[in-house]
């Protein structure tokens, strides 16, 4: 839920609109905008459902506040509803500004620049995490005009007298110059940037970010911009622009330097292009989604190698207050034909259905043993070379939920691994891995398809994997190929969100705090099963050698010595 008091277009409103677009892009979320009664009509909020100022913010799962939006919500609401607070200016750090008082209210704060983050942090008043999310541009706004019909454009809204003085002097030198000293429609402003060879952007003395300078770079202009504190992330003197003092003579001198020194101009053009590339919407969206996905109530995707401890992880997470972890509750083969967006919609709908069932019935769909997720789906008893399953049901009882804002985790090793390219763009995703030799040995007596080098759930969701495995007649070749495929998925999509089974065991489950922070309190007595089937014989040595020779992606998470030590100590 967003709040705005819109009485005219500002950079702050534009940035909030960008964040609404980020929310809209994720089917797991729905943005709602509550506008003040005096707000003017605007198409900025077209991506939102609009509600009146009397809408109850207590109904929101997450509140997104910026500027003075705190005044629109009840006191202490952050104790009941999580808040994400966008900080765009340095005024928040000024003790005599009303925004300063908001710093003491609990929130995750997103700052548009390093300078803003440092300013508010230095107050010692911030209640909650402070993160830097560099402001992104809207790329479609900045297609340069090939004609470049204007020599200089001066964005002088915040320093009109200086802008007019600089314009007059530059015109006196025979240049074609225009200046903006009054508010104009955004399309007109962007058009003037696209037409100009050089843009002089005049900020206030202290800005939180000063977007016009970056916009001018994106439009292909050579930029002149005095220091404004909050523009130092993007304005680097001599590299992305020239940064003279905010004086007529210095500004005119910088313009003439850019017109007369091709080497300086070339260097600044190249530097500006690199800077603009760092401010793409996709990067801003990914960072924001990481924050949003980490804000309760959370929908968490857990995947991992078959026989790597994913069920153990579910069992341990399910012990925590207000955390429900489901063991393979969906039917992978029933939804294998769905396209990416349809698949995501189905997962979102399933999460919603499980939340509702937990709230109303106190149960959830999950493979279970006596109404709970077991620590291991396979027992140690072996019949006809296969281990007996510890699963006797498909429903669990949920008794640890005390708030509607509980975290819900859903685990599918094969299906979610195959679908990681789309899942990782939407959900909070994590994976569990294990020593690759231990995994291969465990597959052999699991009674699962992986024992034959196949994974129907993964193959039905990734035809290319199915085709790869069909081409390999040897069982061990298929197993190593399947193992490496899965490791590659985690390396490519979850490089910093993959947890090793060995760390879960050695910490008594506390390593799962990477998934749910409350897991740091776990102190379970756990013992490693890595050496259960390690026997120093020709068969084991053959598997280890083939693994060392043919696997690739698994060495991103493990060292080959981890396999060698297993064999040598087996």
Helical ranges in 160-247 per DSSP H:
160-172, 186-195, 211-218
Phi, psi of 232 (to 5 degrees): -75, -20
Cβ neighbours of residue 436 closer than 8 Å, sequence gap 6 or more: 483, 487, 547, 551, 554, 558, 563
pLDDT at 136: 86
| Element of type H or E holding 499 | strand 498-500
pLDDT at 570: 47
Torsion angle, alpha carbons of 476, 481, 484, 486, to 10: -110
Pairwise CA distance, residues 194 & 189, whole Å: 9
Residue of 264, 412, 416, 399 whose CA lies nearest to 323:
399
Pairwise CA distance, residues 421 & 424, whole Å: 6
Residue of 213, 189, 190, 188 whose CA lies nearest to 202:
213
pLDDT at 380: 64
Sign of the torsion formed by the C-alpha atoms of 349, 350, 355 and 358:
positive
**Residues across the chain:** 570
Residues 436 and 554 sit within 8 Å (Cβ to Cβ): yes
Beta bridge partners of 300: 409, 428
Burial class from Cβ neighbours inside 10 Å (0-12, 13-18, 19+) for residue 435 reads: buried
Helical ranges in 295-394 per DSSP H:
310-317, 340-361
DSSP state of 337: T
pLDDT at 141: 64
Residues 113 and 15 sit within 8 Å (Cβ to Cβ): no
Instruction: Give the SS3 label for residue 111.
Output: strand
Beta bridge partners of 393: 368
Residue of 543, 296, 286, 276 whose CA lies nearest to 436:
543
pLDDT in tens for each of the 570 residues of the chain? Answer: 999 999 988 888 989 999 999 999 999 999 999 999 999 999 999 989 999 888 899 999 999 999 999 999 999 999 999 999 999 989 999 999 999 999 999 999 999 989 899 999 999 999 999 999 988 887 666 666 667 889 999 999 999 999 999 999 999 999 999 999 998 888 899 899 999 999 999 999 988 888 899 999 999 999 999 999 989 989 999 999 999 999 999 999 999 999 999 999 999 999 999 999 888 888 899 899 999 999 989 999 999 999 999 999 999 999 999 999 999 999 999 999 999 999 999 999 999 999 999 999 999 999 999 989 998 886 666 666 666 677 888 999 999 999 888 999 999 999 999 999 999 999 999 999 999 999 999 998 888 899 999 999 999 999 999 999 999 999 999 999 999 999 999 999 999 999 999 999 999 999 999 999 999 999 999 999 888 767 777 888 999 999 999 999 999 999 999 999 888 764
Residue of 455, 429, 451 whose CA lies nearest to 543:
451
CA distances from 315 to 319, 323, 380 (A): 7, 11, 18
pLDDT at 83: 97
pLDDT at 146: 63
Q: Could you tell me how many helices (H) and strands (E) the chain has, helices first?
A: 20, 20
Residues 361 and 373 sit within 8 Å (Cβ to Cβ): no
């Amino acid at each position: 839920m967003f709040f705005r008091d819109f009485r005219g277009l500002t950079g702050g409103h534009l940035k909030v609109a960008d964040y609404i677009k980020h929310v809209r892009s994720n089917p797991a979320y729905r943005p709602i905008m509550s506008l003040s009664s005096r707000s003017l009509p605007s198409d900025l909020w077209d991506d939102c459902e609009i509600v009146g100022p009397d809408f109850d913010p207590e109904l929101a799962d997450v509140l997104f506040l910026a500027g003075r939006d705190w005044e629109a919500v009840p006191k202490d609401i952050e104790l009941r509803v999580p808040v994400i607070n966008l900080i765009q200016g340095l005024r928040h750090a000024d003790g005599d500004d009303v925004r300063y008082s908001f710093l003491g209210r609990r929130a995750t704060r997103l700052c548009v620049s390093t300078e803003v983050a440092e300013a508010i942090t230095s107050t010692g008043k911030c209640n909650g995490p402070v993160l830097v999310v560099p402001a992104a541009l809207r790329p479609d706004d900045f297609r340069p005009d090939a004609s470049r019909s204007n020599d200089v454009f001066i964005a002088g809204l915040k320093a009109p007298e200086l802008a007019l003085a600089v314009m007059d002097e530059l015109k006196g030198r025979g240049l074609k110059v225009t200046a903006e000293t009054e508010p104009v429609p955004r399309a007109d402003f962007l058009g003037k940037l696209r037409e100009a060879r050089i843009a002089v952007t005049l900020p206030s003395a202290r800005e939180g970010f000063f977007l016009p300078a970056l916009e001018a770079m994106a439009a292909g202009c050579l930029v002149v911009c005095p220091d404004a504190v909050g523009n130092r992330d993007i304005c680097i003197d001599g590299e992305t622009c020239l940064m003279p003092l905010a004086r007529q003579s210095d500004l005119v001198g910088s313009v003439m330097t850019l017109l007369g020194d091709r080497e300086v101009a070339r260097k600044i053009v190249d530097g500006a292009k690199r800077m603009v590339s760092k401010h793409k919407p996709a990067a801003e969206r990914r960072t924001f989604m990481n924050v949003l996905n980490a804000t309760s109530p959370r929908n968490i995707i857990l995947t991992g190698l078959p026989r790597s401890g994913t069920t153990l992880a579910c069992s341990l997470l399910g012990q925590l207050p207000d955390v429900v972890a489901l063991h393979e509750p969906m039917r992978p083969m029933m939804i294998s034909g769905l396209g990416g967006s349809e698949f995501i919609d189905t997962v979102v709908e399933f999460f919603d259905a499980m939340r509702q069932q937990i709230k109303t019935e106190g149960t959830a769909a999950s493979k279970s043993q006596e109404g709970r997720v077991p620590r291991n789906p396979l027992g140690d008893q072996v019949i006809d070379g296969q281990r007996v399953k510890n699963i006797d049901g498909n429903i669990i009882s949920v008794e640890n939920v005390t708030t509607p804002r509980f975290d819900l985790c859903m685990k599918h090793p094969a299906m979610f691994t195959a679908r990681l390219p789309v899942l990782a763009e939407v959900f909070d995703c994590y994976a569990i891995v294990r020593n690759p030799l231990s995994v291969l040995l465990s597959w052999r007596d699991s009674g699962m398809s992986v024992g034959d080098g196949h994974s129907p759930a993964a193959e039905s969701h990734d035809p290319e994997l199915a085709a790869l495995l069909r081409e390999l007649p040897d069982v061990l070749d298929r197993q190593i190929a399947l193992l490496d495929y899965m490791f590659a998925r985690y390396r490519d999509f979850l490089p910093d969100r993959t947890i090793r089974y060995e760390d879960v065991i050695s910490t008594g489950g506390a390593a799962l705090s990477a998934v749910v922070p409350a897991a740091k309190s776990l102190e379970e007595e756990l013992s490693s099963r890595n050496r259960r089937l390690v026997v120093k014989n020709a068969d084991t040595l053959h598997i280890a050698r083939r693994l060392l020779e043919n696997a690739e992606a698994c060495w991103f998470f493990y060292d080959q010595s981890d396999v060698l030590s297993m064999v040598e100590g087996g």
